[in-house]
Chain A
Amino acid sequence: MKSLSDLQREFCDALRAPGAPSPVLMDELLDDGTAPERFNVYRNNFVVLNGDALADMYPTIRRLIGDEAFRSLANRYVRTHPPESRTLLLYGDRFPGFLESIPELSRLPYLSDVARLEFAWTCAYHAPDAQLLGRDEVASIAAETFTRFGLEPHPSMHCISSDYPAYRIWAANQEEGSEETISLDSGPSHILIVRPGMEVETREVGEGAFLFLQRLQAGDSIEDAFDMAMQSDSAFDLAEFFAHHLFDGTFCALRKPRT
Chain B
Amino acid sequence: MNKTATKAIVASAITTALALAPLTGVQAGSGDKSEKCYGVAKAGKNDCKAGPGTSCAGSSTVDAQGNAWMLVLKGTCEKIVGGSLAAK
Taking Cβ atoms with an 8 Å cutoff, the residues of A that contact B are 18-19, 40, 43-45, 47-49, 51-54, 56-57, 59-60, 62-69, 71-73, 75-76, 87-92, 102, 104-105, 107-111, 118, 121-122, 125-126, 135, 138-139, 143-144, 146-147, 164, 167, 169, 171-174, 178-185, 196-197, 199-206, 222-223, 226-227, 230, 238-249
Contact = CB atoms under 8 A, between A and B. Distances in A.
A173 B36 CA distance: 15
B11 A87 contact: no
A163 B62 CA distance: 38
14 contacts: A52-B52, A52-B59, A66-B74, A76-B69, A91-B52, A109-B83, A144-B11, A147-B7, A182-B80, A184-B81, A184-B83, A203-B35, A222-B10, A247-B17
Interface string B68-87: 01111111110111111100
B81 to A, nearest CB: 6
Given A173-B76, A226-B9, A249-B26, A143 B15 contact: yes
Nearest to B6: A223
A206 B34 contact: yes
A246 B28 CA distance: 10
A222 B84 CA distance: 38
Contacts of B72: 66, 68-69
Contact of A146 (B14, B16, B50): B14
Contact of B53 (A69, A87, A202): A87
Given A91-B53, A242-B16, A146 B11 contact: yes
